[in-house]
Structure formats: structure tokens, C-alpha cells
Structure 1
Amino acid sequence: MNDINESIEELISAQYPNITGLIATGCGKVALEHFSPGFSDQTPIHLSSVTKSITSMLFGIALEQGYIQSVEQRVLDFFPDYVLKRGERTLPQLRLKHLLSMTAPYKFRSEPYTRVYSSYDWTAASLDLLGGKGKIGQFKYTTPALHVLSGVLSNATGQTVADYANQELFAPLGIAPVKNITLNDRQQHLEFIRGAPERGWVTDPCGTNTPGWGLVLSTSDLVKLASLYLGNGFWDRQRLVSSAWIQQSTSEQSRFGERRYGFLWWVMHETEHNGYCALGDGGNALFVSPKHEVVVAITSRFVPRPKDRVTLFTEYLLPFLMGTRLG
């Protein structure tokens, strides 16, 4: 078994050199750990779009606590002061489920990063981008337009997303609290993407945390978050997230070609792999396979076009983990 372990480690070092940390567990026990020199299970890493799936967890908690009634609620219910643009007919029809499943249309062919992130109020800018002549229900991946979800959570709970996460999710899991991170210009933004120095959560100039990127946690933190879902929402005999939300959010709600999407989770319901994952730029990833009782957390230095983590999981890590159990 040591030989197999060493071969997996060699594979990661040789073919996935930007991975900074990897922890794989089977049946609640750590089966594999890999860290680059200078990194540990506690090293903070910007999770990129893995942030989206953690935002999904917070929506599940807010629903359970009654701050949000249903994913069928209209988006504009949470922004009573928002003034519709003349001729806008689609935005009033949008429901939370459309944002959570990436099926809300927005008014640009490509993601309007600059238009949102150069503004003062990213929530208002994102609301302005939604709707238009696009068709509701068609998958259209977005990060900037997703900022509306942070506005929803903040307006519903009366707290910032980071404060709500610290109180209702991170503290019960024993995850150290995150503080707000403000990026004042393009240079700071680039430096943050290349290597976030400390744990925290990026905010816009209004103090609203980013729901689709910007969260900085450690590999160990990710394992706890994934293990919470593997445990059907329970941690230390305390229910943090409802099983109904876990089932709903990690089941197919939309589809992009052959790729399935839940509520801010990618769904992997092929017969042999049966699970779901969170994927972020640079190769950050979180895999959960309830069928096999497996969790894999991967943190990575940012590089453009990293080697596919799904293949690493399905072709190497999952067979390895199944082998350690059989062994």
C-alpha cells in the first residue's frame, strides 16, 4: 500500500505541480495527504469558484432558519428599492433558483467582469446586468452577475455574508473566522489572485462579500466543509444544513451539454462515480462521493489552464481510495 501511496504522490508532483495541498479521506479517515514545500493543511489559499459551493451551503442554512422562504422567491423581493430599467421585463420574473442554477440570462455575450468590478456597488451593477432579451432556463455560467446572491443573503439575514458564515457555518465546524478583504485597484486584485496572504473573504467597496470567488480558506477547512455534506448536514451531532437542501443542491437542476449543475455545485451522477464537486480557477477543487464515503479537497496556486482535476479524481484518487478500503 505504501508503494501505491508513493506512486500517487509522484503522479501529483509530476503532472499537477501547482497543487499546494491535497487531503483525501475514506470513511472519515485520512488516506492521503500531499503538500508542496512551504505549504501545510493550514495554509490559506484563494479558493476561486469553490466559493460558489460554500455560498450554496449558506443558502441552505438561511432557508432552514426561515430567512429565505423558498428558491421560488423572486430575486427582486429582496431589493424593494431597486428601480427597473425602462423596458425590462425579464428581471421581475427571475427566481432565486435561476441564479443558483446558472439559468438566469444577462445582457452580455461574455461575463462582464470590468463593468461590475469597476463599479462601487457590485450588487446594483449585477442587478442591472440581469434580464434583457435572454431566455430564462438556459444555462449561462457567470461569476460577476452572481454577486446578487450576496445581496440576497445580506438583506435576508441582516448580516454580511462573512459574518453569517463565521457564525452559522465556520464556528460550529471549528474553522477560524474570516475577515473582510478589500481590493482597491487592479494591481491588488492581480496580487490577490496570484497568492492570497491571509484567510478572509473579498468584499466590494460597499462591504458586500463576493459569492462566486474571493474566499480564502485552507485545505483542512475544505475537508471539514465537505465532510459536513458527507454526514448529511450533521457535525458533532448538530445539524447545520438540512438533508433536503443537500439533496436538492447537489442534484441536477440544469445542464450545459453533458455537464450537470445543481445549485452552485457540479453534479457527477455517472453510475460509477455518483457524487458532486466544486471547481475553481487554478485547479482548486472539492469532491464528495456519498456512495463511496469519499472526500477529496485540493488547493492550488493559480495557473491558467491547469490540468483537469476531475480526471485526477475519477481515474486516480477514487480508485486509490477504494483500494485502500479493500486493502
Structure 2
Amino acid sequence: MENNKNIIPEKSGSKYDLLLKIEDIIKKEYSNTEGIVISKDGEMIYEKYFGESNENQKTHIASVTKSILSILIGIAIDKGFMEDENQKVMDFFKEYDFIDKNEIRDKITIKDLLTMTVPYTFEEYMEPLEDFTRSEDWIRYALESIDGNGEKGKFKYSTMSAHLLSAILTKASGMSAKEFANKYLFKPMDMEEINHNDTKEFSFDTLFGEKIEGWANDPMGISAGGFGLKLSTRDMAKIGELYLNNGEYKGKRIVSEEWIDKTLKENQNGYGYMWYLIYNAPIRMYCALGDGGNMICVIPDLNTVIAMTSSFMMNAKDRIGFVAEYILPALSN
């Protein structure tokens, strides 16, 4: 059964007619979509759910979790739990006494983790996630995977970097990322708090698939840094609005404008502090992206936020292309 909820019934004109047509496009070409919300000028102009989904359903947002974690790191710095993003990572993990001399590991900073510029031993896009998540100590595995002979500063996408950030947040604040988010992000933004979650079995389904509840954690109770969080499509749209409004939500300061500016600063990698900076689109946009087609897309010049949630699907069709081809013409018309 489908939830038919289009928030444009009384309006007319080519812009709104074009938006209505995206429903058919989604069904034909993006069939694993669960929900989509579009807001413009602070007003929700389109909301649609597919299959059994609805506005209250939470979906595993995959790597969009990384972008949420980036916000939490910014809040932690704002509130004095951490000095700044230039702190050395190993300052937080002094209990790990590594035998090998790895000067690169000792030089890695929080900023290197945020910008995905840590040299690891694996090849680009060949991160051994299965071995990582099956290990008893995800932190040790990640730290041991830093290449002592590597080139610090070169982009290499890594979920392990995000998990180290989650562990650092816990070390600094005394709270898990889930607890910290509930207190300083979700509750202040009128989002439902994440219930207690205690992941004990680390199979694909409990970490990435249908069995995820709340926010998955590692064997030591650290919230998974790069995946494992479930949010609703409306929640995702709220996060987009937070960034569109430079860190404020309904007049409340959630994260500093300085952190937003740093997160979205242009660079050669097209990747800010765990947000993608899209340079090859017709108009400036930045996005939080997760496997399967989960997305928060912010388009400042159009004062627009687009949020999409999707069930897991191998080789899902690119949502940035969907935005550029179908939504931008509707909004710009």
C-alpha cells in the first residue's frame, strides 16, 4: 500500500506540475526509494512515501551517518569537549601501545579523519569492512591500518576514520555518539530521540541491513561512526535545513556558523568535513550521501533542501543525477 501524500494540492503552474511527475520517475528508475521530502524557502513543498513507508518510519541512512557525526564533532568543539579539529588522534588513544614505529599515525589529526585524508594500507574503495566489523576491537583495527609509509593529505574514503571520530567523541564527552546526539542535536531539533541499542551480533543484517535498530555500536559499545543510524525522511530534511540556515534551527543555535563554513569550504577533493561538495552540477549544492540512495541535498541559491531515504540496494542509481535531471528543472522553472 502506498502513502499518497503530495504537499502541493492547491498550487498550480509548471513548477508544481513538474514536481508531481517525479513520482513516476522514482517508481521506474529509483524503485528502492522509501521517502522524499523537498522544502523551499522554509516550506515543505513535496512529500511522498512509497511501499509501506510513511513519515514516521526510520530508515538506515548508511553513510549519511558520517555527516551526522561531523555535526556532533562540531558541537563538541563548540561546547569545549575538544579543543579543535587540529588535535592529534593518538592523544585520545594513549592506552594503545603499538610496537611498530609509525610516525604518520602519530601525526594524524581530527581534521584528517573528517576530510578523509588519512593514508590506510588498503587500496582506494577497497576498505576491508567485513574484517573491520568482525574484529573484536574496531579502534585498534583502524589505527593499525594506518600506513606508516603513506602520504598524509591524499583523499581516501574510509568508514574506519568515521569510527575513530565516534570513539574520540566518546572519549572527550563521556557519552556515546548516540547519547550525545540525543542531548545536543536530536532533542533540540524536535527529532525523536534514539532508543537504547546494544548490538551484540555483528552480521550484515544487524550492522547494515533490516535488523538495525536505533544506532548500531561496535563490540565495545562505541556508536558506529560511518553507518548504522536510522532516521526518518523528515529528520533528514531537518538536518538539511540546519545547514541551509548556517547552524540554526527555528532560531536556536545548534552548531556554530564557523563549523558550517569549515565543513563546506571548497577544496580539490570535493569533500568537506564529511559532506560532499558537488562541483559538476548546474548549480552549487552540497550533500550527505549514503549507500543505496540515501541523501540530504542542500541547494543554497534556491533555498532548497531535498531529503531521500532508500532501502539497501546494490548499485543503486545515482541520486545526484536524479536531482540535476528532474528536480532542478522543476524548482528553477
1:137-181 CA-to-partner distances (Å, cap 9, x unmatched) read 111111134311111111111111100000000000111111343
TM-score (norm 2): 0.90
Say if 2:324 is the partner of 1:314: yes
Say if 2:188 is the partner of 1:172: yes
SS in 2 for 1:39: coil
Aligned residues: 317
Bigger drift between 263-272 and 43-52 goes to: 263-272
SS in 1 for 2:295: strand
SS in 1 for 2:35: strand
Amino acid of the structure 2 residue aligned with 1:277: C
Q: Matches of 1:119 and 1:194 in 2, distance apart?
A: 19
Displacement after TM superposition at 1:87 (Å):
2.5
Aligned to 2:114: 100
Aligned to 1:283: 293
Aligned to 1:23: 37
Q: Matches of 1:160 and 1:178 in 2, distance apart?
A: 12
Contact 2:208/2:227, CA 8 A, preserved across alignment: no
Displacement after TM superposition at 1:254 (Å):
5.0
SS in 2 for 1:31: strand
Amino acid of the structure 1 residue aligned with 2:131: R
Bigger drift between 151-160 and 33-42 goes to: 33-42
Amino acid of the structure 1 residue aligned with 2:27: S
CA RMSD of aligned residues (A): 1.8
Aligned to 2:164: 148
SS in 1 for 2:301: coil
Q: Matches of 1:192 and 1:96 in 2, distance apart?
A: 25
Bigger drift between 33-42 and 53-62 goes to: 33-42
Gaps in structure 1 of 5+ consecutive residues = none
Say if 2:204 is the partner of 1:194: no
SS in 2 for 1:302: coil
1:101 to 1:43, Cα distance in 2 relative to 1, 3 A: same
TM-score (norm 1): 0.92
1:192 to 1:68, Cα distance in 2 relative to 1, 3 A: closer
Q: Matches of 2:209 and 2:101 in 1, distance apart?
A: 41
Contact 1:8/1:316, CA 8 A, preserved across alignment: yes
Say if 2:136 is the partner of 1:126: no
Amino acid of the structure 2 residue aligned with 1:174: D
SS in 1 for 2:242: helix
1:208-260 CA-to-partner distances (Å, cap 9, x unmatched) read 001110000100111111111111111122101111111111223451xxxx1
Bigger drift between 297-306 and 32-41 goes to: 32-41
Say if 2:109 is the partner of 1:90: no
Match of 1:295 among 291, 297, 305: 305
Bigger drift between 37-46 and 124-133 goes to: 124-133
SS in 1 for 2:182: helix
Q: Matches of 2:251 and 2:90 in 1, distance apart?
A: 37
Aligned to 2:3: none
Aligned to 2:80: 66
Gaps in structure 2 of 5+ consecutive residues = 1-12
Contact 2:63/2:227, CA 8 A, preserved across alignment: yes
Contact 1:44/1:196, CA 8 A, preserved across alignment: no
Q: Matches of 2:181 and 2:22 in 1, distance apart?
A: 34
Amino acid of the structure 1 residue aligned with 2:330: F
1:250 to 1:108, Cα distance in 2 relative to 1, 3 A: same
Aligned to 2:7: none
Displacement after TM superposition at 1:10 (Å):
1.1
